[in-house]
Amino acid sequence: MNHPYHLIASAESWIEGEALRQLEQTAQLPGMRQAVGLPDLHPGNGYPIGAAFLSDLIYPALVGNDIGCGMTLWQTDLLVRKFKPERAAERLQGLEDPWEGALADWRADFALEPTAFDTALGTIGGGNHFAEMQCIESVLDPPALLTLGIDPDQALLLVHSGSRGLGEAILHALIAAKGHAGLDPETPESLDYLRQHEQALRWAEANRALIARRILDALNADGARRLDVWHNLVQPMDWQGERLWLHRKGAAPSDRGALVIPGSRGTLSYLVKPCVDCKQSLYSLAHGAGRKWKRGEARGRLSGRQRPEDLIKTALGGRVICEDKELLYDEAPENYKGIERVVGDLVAAGLCTIIAALRPLLTYKVRRPAHRQPGMRKQEHRRS
């Protein structure tokens, strides 16, 4: 049988063949009704990233290990004209260590049960996760910005992170028991997964909020959350009289208000307003620029031209904190497709409009590799 799938991308958007194969393959899984690739579509670990899937069954492996991963945007009280990236960088220390505040209160605010992973609450993690201080570059929709409560004179804080070890443990246990098979939504194992998934969503949201809180505290600043969206999750959806399951795999929701579609740390990001009727994209938007190069490729491609010292400053003048060399290369702007094309494709498809463009001032990745203790330098001379 052939299940329908389609791609939302203009002819100018380059989509890797492997990503299209994964989209087509995933669309053929039992119970799949529809599959949509967004313009940031790229290959993932068996399933494509930057896609949404509507199904009769629940596919935990499709949601992936980082259940609840997403983006939050905070308005700070720091005036952009007074913000000094170098001074702020000096103040951002120890963000990889367990938070020393009142964890029980924080859990209560987000209705979280204690988990074995709570020492990681308030930590950014690795991969493409980051926290970034930004300013508003240009405003295309002033009323929408005003409605969101964003003052263009004040710096913004964008955080991308997820459920860290918790989501990973939930998926790992599920796969050990059930493999990659789709689950009948009515079964006990489905209900158990959905209960844990719900916890992971809230944990991830709490994590982003705590990351923002820790950064604001370090900068002696205050702030207020303006939005928080998940881009990895599964949720029930009423679809033409049926109850189906919408999986978002690196796909932002179009039905939860305004959101940020981040570029790379060397480009602008876009604050967008989803259009009302996004049925064609399964109520989803791109979640970022999308990788152009696989993880691990960048060092070989870039190290001849760019030294680590070059990579801590970006083309737009932003400062980068990333003391893990591999990650510094792997997340360099060259790894990503052009964000203007991705957002342009969404606008052209009638899925969103642009509220404002955001410019990176300071991007925080990691202070030092968590797996390498001070004094251990065994990987220092490893090639490629």
Residues found near DNA in the complex (CB under 7 A): 45, 65-66, 69, 116-117, 119-120, 125-129, 161-162, 164-165, 168-169, 369-371
CA dihedral (226, 107, 121, 171) positive or negative: negative
Nearer to DNA, 292 or 347 (CB): 292
For 307, list phi and psi in degrees, rounded to 5.
Answer: -85, 160
Nearer to DNA, 18 or 222 (CB): 18
Q: CB of 265: closest distance to DNA in angstroms?
A: 12
Q: CB of 139: closest distance to DNA in angstroms?
A: 29
Q: Which DSSP category does 382 fall into?
A: -
Query: Is residue 287 flagged as an active site residue?
Result: yes
Q: What is the C-alpha to C-alpha distance for residues 24 and 22, in angstroms, rounded to an integer?
A: 5
Q: What is the C-alpha to C-alpha distance for residues 369 and 113, in angstroms, rounded to an integer?
A: 29
Q: What is the C-alpha to C-alpha distance for residues 36 and 366, in angstroms, rounded to an integer?
A: 33
Quick check: helix, strand or coil at residue 297? coil
Among candidate residues 272, 265, 288, 271, the one with its CA nearest the CA of residue 361 = 265
Q: Is 289 annotated as a binding residue?
A: yes
In the set 42, 247, 287, 371, the catalytic residue is 287
Q: Which DSSP category does 82 fall into?
A: G
Tokens 């029980």 correspond to what residue? Answer: 104
Q: CB of 48: closest distance to DNA in angstroms?
A: 13
Nearer to DNA, 31 or 50 (CB): 50
Nearer to DNA, 25 or 119 (CB): 119
Among candidate residues 303, 295, 252, the one with its CA nearest the CA of residue 274 = 252
Q: CB of 65: closest distance to DNA in angstroms?
A: 4
Nearer to DNA, 185 or 360 (CB): 360
Q: Is 51 annotated as a binding residue?
A: no
For 107, list phi and psi in degrees, rounded to 5.
Answer: -60, -45
Q: Is 247 annotated as a binding residue?
A: no
369 token code pair:
């590799």
Whether the Cβ atoms of residue 364 and residue 96 lie closer than 8 Å to each other: no
Q: What is the C-alpha to C-alpha distance for residues 344 and 70, in angstroms, rounded to an integer?
A: 21
Q: Is 130 annotated as a binding residue?
A: yes
Nearer to DNA, 54 or 174 (CB): 174
Whether the Cβ atoms of residue 161 and residue 132 lie closer than 8 Å to each other: no
Going by their DSSP bridges, the two strands 232-239 and 284-286 should be labelled as: unpaired
Burial (CB count within 10 angstroms: exposed 0-12, middle 13-18, buried 19+), residue 81: exposed
Q: Is 287 annotated as a binding residue?
A: yes
**What's the 3-state SS for 307-350?**
CHHHHCECCCCCEEEECCHHHHHHCCHHHECCHHHHHHHHHHCC
Q: CB of 178: closest distance to DNA in angstroms?
A: 18
Q: Is 3 annotated as a binding residue?
A: no
Q: Is 118 annotated as a binding residue?
A: no
Q: Is 19 annotated as a binding residue?
A: no
Q: CB of 238: closest distance to DNA in angstroms?
A: 30
Nearer to DNA, 161 or 363 (CB): 161
Whether the Cβ atoms of residue 29 and residue 37 lie closer than 8 Å to each other: no
Q: CB of 70: closest distance to DNA in angstroms?
A: 12
Q: Detail the residues annotated as belonging to a binding site for GMP.
A: 128-132, 231-232, 269, 287-290
Q: Detail the residues annotated as belonging to a binding site.
A: 66, 128-132, 160, 231-232, 269, 287-290
Q: Could you give the residue numbers annotated as active site? A: 287
Q: Detail the residues annotated as belonging to a binding site for Mn(2+).
A: 66, 129, 160, 231
